[in-house]
Amino acid sequence: MNMQDFDTRCIVSGQLESRPNHGTVNPIYPATTYEYIDQNANVYPRYFNTPNQAWLNEKIATLEGAAAALTFGSGMAAISTSLMAFLAPGDHVIVQNSIYGGTTNFINKIFHKYGIEFTVTDGRDLEDFARTLQENTRMVYIETPSNPLLAITDIRAIAGFARSHQLISMIDNTFASPVNQTPYTMGIDVVLHSATKYLGGHSDICAGFAVGSQEHIDQIWSYAKCFGGSLNAQTCHLLERSMKTLGVRVRKQNQNAMAIASFLENHPKVERVFYPGLVRHPGHEVAVRQMSGFGGMVSFELRSMEDPFAFQQRLRVITPTLSLGGVESTICSPFTTSHDYLSKAERLNQGIRDELLRLSVGIESEKDLVTDIAEALQ
């Protein structure tokens, strides 16, 4: 098959060929019930197969270069359903350290309760993963770039390790988005997304995706119908519209983030910058191999005498808010937001200091963003 370029796939994938009433965009089908005689499927929102869900499933699968996908009502619905679809009591999971807080919380709460064992790796090299392998290991779970320190895990190395030990491999690809990295094409079995972030892109949608082979997605689907975390037609349509601009948005965010990271790297009031696009970043070489852009997230530490909250309040273009991935630039202190569920000692153990700031770079002008930061640092 002749694979179209990414930006073309953003527009045409999942698009109806014969358009009702000749409109240019897919319609919204709010119906929860469909005629069943002579149809070969029972269509119902919680079966994840209404027209708006099906078009979106096709769009994200095409963008990730995979065979199949499911659209969920949140990123955590996609993640929790996918984990439970493959795990049983007595199984063991290798979990990369420093992953999304909600996923860590799910693992701590639910795995313990249902007798699923897990080991959190103490590094991100292949040896750190291999060392934790057990006889009952069934799955390996990674997230790269990681939140909030933008650490990089070698996707191909982990996929190869999983294959050679018959483990299911899963990745949370939220931070990179399929614009910058398509892990399924590098051998990962299941790719997960919080579409609330870059795929939605406008800070007004909560949704999630699981992407993979038809066989793996069928397995997840059989659990998804039980757990019921589906997405309504109206929000599916909004998300479909957002994803048409995914390529242009994220490439602009990559470009702005690179400019800001370079500016911060040379600023005397900044202690450290975490951005995989910087040559000094320890994961830079791996990032160059597996990413086509370095993403819109930049983390940095102010010198300890600078007050991180006063700095955030002096910003005029960038807004201090919790989430990320929108067209507007936002910033937060991970220690009081995404990582406040950890004790200070646990945070420090992961390298998350109180001086750390996590910036989600939007699509405003590069000059205005750099000026905003420069003035707030003064």
Residue 194 sits in the site that holds ligand PLP (CB under 6 A): yes
Q: Which of 53, 96, 147, 360 touches ligand PLP by CB under 6 A? A: 147
The answer to whether 124 and 97 are in contact (CB under 8 A) is yes
Rounded to whole angstroms, the Cα distance separating 345 from 225 reads: 40
CB of 208 to ligand PLP, least distance (A): 5
Residue 75 sits in the site that holds ligand PLP (CB under 6 A): yes
CB of 103 to ligand PLP, least distance (A): 6
- Residue 322 or 374 having the CB closest to ligand PLP: 322
Rounded to whole angstroms, the Cα distance separating 269 from 47 reads: 53
Residue 102 sits in the site that holds ligand PLP (CB under 6 A): yes
- Residue 82 or 121 having the CB closest to ligand PLP: 82
Rounded to whole angstroms, the Cα distance separating 14 from 64 reads: 13
CB of 143 to ligand PLP, least distance (A): 6
Output the six-digit token pair for 108: 């701590």
Q: Is 117 helix (H, G, I), strand (E, B) or coil?
A: strand
- Residue 241 or 267 having the CB closest to ligand PLP: 241
Closest CA to 227 of 85, 334, 123, 332: 85
- Decide if 368 is catalytic: no
- Residue 26 or 338 having the CB closest to ligand PLP: 338
- Decide if 5 is catalytic: no
The DSSP string of 264-313 is: HHT-TTEEEEE-TTSTTSTTHHHHHHH-SS--SEEEEEE-TTS-HHHHHH
- Decide if 172 is catalytic: yes
- Of 3-11, 68-76, 231-239, 278-286, the segment contacting ligand PLP by CB under 6 A is 68-76
Residue 198 sits in the site that holds ligand PLP (CB under 6 A): no
Beta-bridge mates of residue 120: 95
Q: Is 209 helix (H, G, I), strand (E, B) or coil?
A: strand
- Decide if 197 is catalytic: yes
Place of tokens 């002096």: 314
Q: Identify the DSSP state of 98.
A: S
Alpha carbon 239 to its chain centroid, in Å, reads 15
The answer to whether 82 and 72 are in contact (CB under 8 A) is no
Q: Which of 148, 183, 201, 208 touches ligand PLP by CB under 6 A? A: 208
Residue 74 sits in the site that holds ligand PLP (CB under 6 A): yes
- Residue 86 or 141 having the CB closest to ligand PLP: 141
- Of 36-44, 60-68, 72-80, 308-316, the segment contacting ligand PLP by CB under 6 A is 72-80
List contacts with ligand PLP (CB under 6 A). Answer: 74-76, 100, 102, 143, 147, 172, 174-175, 194, 196-197, 206, 208
